Structure formats: structure tokens, C-alpha cells
Amino acid sequence: MPAQEQPGLVWLRLLRLPGRVALFVLRWVVATPPKKPRSFLRTWTARAIPVICAAWLFICGPCNLLLPTHPGFSSVSDKKVTVYHQDHPPDLVNKVLAYARAGHERCHEFWGEPPGGVGHISIYLCGSRGRYRQLSFGGSGNAGSAGSSVMLYPAGVGQQNLAAIIRHEMSHAYLRQHIGYWQSFRVPVWLDEGIATYLGEPTWASAEALRKRLEAMQTPSIVSVVSVSSRFDWADVALGGPGAVPRQYACARGFVDYLVTQHGEGKLKHFVHQSLLNDVDDAFASVYAAKLTEMEHAWLTHEIASGHVPARTQLVTRRHSVVTAVRFYLPYALILFAILWVIRQCFVVGRLVTRLIRA
Ligand SMILES: [Zn+2]
């Protein structure tokens, strides 16, 4: 009988592969490039690519939002909001400004005053979906947010849902202002999206809309809301066929609505803060004295009893897809490669300067 391996050794074995990969990457970054001279074309192509990428990022890409001037945008401001637009009709711009003021009020009522005071919100109305995708770094749909900036493609959103979408995106911005940008990544996505959709009250994610969507399904099923905790999980849900994304927003809103109706908004905010300190299940149990999955089943039972969803509705687990994994992680891999490439170039320049000084 083989001797039982000590737990410490098992961990060492598990760490061997990532350790080797990290060592390979480190060697690539600090290694001396080959002495063999490169052709003129290769040298200048290698220099031009990062310059073109940086120019794109700052001139028309997402980093454009960080610049003090925004090429191609005019702006209208009040104390708390600036609306940047691309020659949109004045009545639409004024409407957006009014919706944003109302959004501030609703978000402030729910979230309260952020520790550093209410931050200024910038809303970018894009003239085309292409421009929206550039600013949101290839974001899907018609609306998104980053930090305290909200990007919108009004023609795609439609007049009917404009107020709800603005409030939804402002809720994300408020959450970041409350707990900090990096901390906000630790909040489960279903909770962040659920609260934002609950505050926005969009017609496309209402109880009525969810019931109609489920009735249209042969086997009415809901992807377990609480299993969608990361951005990757959320992207995975989108592969569930047409209507999967609005259905998921409606479910996240429905579950958050249920928690608020049963236990109040105060407990929900307390849970948001606890989820930063503990494992989500433990945080939920400590705030609601119940298991998260059991509460989700109680919600579905309640929805069926109230006639909000068909009686045959089932909770299903999220399916995992390799395609989504590649599509989701590829941009991050490219960004990481670009950062490592820049560090590698710094080493090359450093060596060149050292050689010049010694000479
Ligand atoms: Zn959202």
C-alpha cells in the first residue's frame, strides 16, 4: 500500500505547473533578445504596433474617457452630471440630464451618501454602436459603465427604457463610489446586477416580462441566480439562446426584489458589505440567518404561488462553455501580453543605457 502523501506535498505538486509557467514568462520578460540583427521592416513594425495601439486607446478607445478633452463630443453639465453627446438633438440631451438627476435621487435614497461624497457622473451618448463599442472596450448591448462613466448608444436603448438604463448604470457607479473600484469586483455579479435592475425598474426585466418569456419556453427554466457570481458566469449565461440575457436580468431583479420585500433594503446593503469580508454563502447566512440556495428556492416557490412564473418553472445550473471562456479571457490575455511586452522593452532599453554608460 503506498504511503499517504502529506497535504503540503500535494500543494507543492499542484503549484508546480503554474510555477513553471511563471518562470517561463519571467525568463521571456528579462531575457536578452537575440544578437542577430533584425531586418529594418521587422524592427519598425515591432515599434509601430504598440504606438498604433496606444494611439487608438487614447484617441478613440476607452482611455479617451480619461482625457480632459473628448474628441467628437460636445457637453452639457449641471452640478452632479455631465452629458457628453455627438450632435444628438437638444431635447434628447435634456431628457438624459433630467433622467440622470432622477437617477441620482433614487441611487442616493438606496445607497446613501458615499464615504467621499457623491462623485460626478459622466454620461457619454454615442452616435453609433461602433463608437459605443470603442469606449466600452468591445462591450455588448447598448449600455455599460466604467468607474463613474456611463456609456450609452441611445438609438439601441430606445426611448422607452432610457430612464431605467441610466438609473441601472448609475447604480453600478454608486456601488463603486461606496465600496471602491477594486472592491466592487468582489461583489457577486447577480447582486450588483440585481440591485441595479431593481433600482432601474425596466419594463423588459419586470415580473410581467419574465412571466411572458418563461411561458414562451417549452420547458420554463431559470438559471440559478446565485450561481452567476462572476462576470465570466454572466457572459456564459448569454449563450443560453435568444432572450437568455433579459431573462437573467429579470431573475436577478426578482430575487433582489424578494429579499427587499421580505427583509428590507437595510439588510440587503448590509449583505453587500459583508460579502466583501466573507465568503458569499457565509455572509448571506450571517445577515439573513438562512442558506442562500434555500432562500433562492423560497423565492421561486413564492413566485410560482403568486403566479409571476409558470408552475412548471425549474431552477437549472449554469452550463460551462469553452467558447465563452476563450472569448471572455482572450482580451485580458492580450492586455497582459501587452503589459509584459512593455516591461520587456524597458529591460532592453535599460541594458542599452547601461552599455552606453559603461562605454
Ligand atoms: Zn448592469
Distance between CA atoms of residues 62 and 59, nearest Å:
9
CA 281 to ligand 1 centroid distance, Å:
22
Residue linked to cell 479617451 = 64
Question: Model-level pTM?
Answer: 0.78
- pLDDT tens digits, residue range 77-118? 888 899 999 989 999 999 999 999 999 999 999 998 888 887
Backbone CA torsion sign across 280, 277, 136, 122: positive
Distance between CA atoms of residues 241 and 81, nearest Å:
37
CA 196 to ligand 1 centroid distance, Å:
6
Q: What is the DSSP letter of 314?
A: E
Q: What is the DSSP letter of 76?
A: E
Q: pLDDT band at residue 150, thresholds of 50, 70 and 90?
A: very high
Residues of the chain above pLDDT 90, percent: 40
Per-residue pLDDT, 233? 84
CA 239 to ligand 1 centroid distance, Å:
17
Question: 226 near 188, Cβ under 8 Å?
Answer: yes
CA 21 to ligand 1 centroid distance, Å:
35
- pLDDT tens digits, residue range 237-279? 877 777 888 999 999 999 999 999 999 999 999 999 999 988 9
Mean pLDDT (the chain) is 85
Residue linked to cell 455579479 = 189
CA 323 to ligand 1 centroid distance, Å:
22
Q: What is the DSSP letter of 61?
A: S
CA 173 to ligand 1 centroid distance, Å:
10
Q: What integer is the mean pLDDT of 181-210?
A: 91
CA 249 to ligand 1 centroid distance, Å:
8
CA 247 to ligand 1 centroid distance, Å:
13
Residues of the chain above pLDDT 70, percent: 93
CA 316 to ligand 1 centroid distance, Å:
22
SS3 of 234, please?
Answer: helix
Question: Which residue segments constitute the domains of the chain, with CATH numbers given?
Answer: 53-183 (3.40.30.160), 187-322 (no CATH)
Q: What integer is the mean pLDDT of 43-64?
A: 78
Task: Give the number of other Cβ atoms within 10 Å of residue 268's Cβ.
Answer: 19
Question: 192 near 271, Cβ under 8 Å?
Answer: no
Residue linked to cell 442616493 = 108
CA 179 to ligand 1 centroid distance, Å:
17
CA 200 to ligand 1 centroid distance, Å:
10
CA 143 to ligand 1 centroid distance, Å:
8
CA 144 to ligand 1 centroid distance, Å:
7
Q: What is the CA radius of gyration of the chain?
A: 25
Q: The sheet that has 143-146: what strands, in order across it?
A: 74-77, 81-85, 121-125, 149-152, 143-146
CA 169 to ligand 1 centroid distance, Å:
6
Per-residue pLDDT, 10? 63
Highest mean pLDDT among 26-30, 67-71, 140-144, 325-329: 140-144
Exposure on the CB side of residue 250, measured as CA atoms within 13 A: 23
Exposure on the CB side of residue 280, measured as CA atoms within 13 A: 16
Does the pLDDT at position 354 exceed 50?
Answer: yes
Does the pLDDT at position 286 exceed 90?
Answer: yes
CA 91 to ligand 1 centroid distance, Å:
26
Q: Which of 150, 177, 174, 148 is nearest to 162 (CA)?
A: 150
- pLDDT tens digits, residue range 303-345? 999 988 999 898 888 777 777 777 777 877 887 888 888 888 8
CA 172 to ligand 1 centroid distance, Å:
7
Q: Which of 145, 36, 166, 143 is nearest to 93 (CA)?
A: 166
Does the pLDDT at position 1 exceed 50?
Answer: no
159 compared with 288, residue with greater pLDDT = 288
Per-residue pLDDT, 2? 46
CA 79 to ligand 1 centroid distance, Å:
24
- pLDDT tens digits, residue range 16-38? 777 888 888 888 777 766 666 67
237 compared with 150, residue with greater pLDDT = 150
Does the pLDDT at position 7 exceed 70?
Answer: no
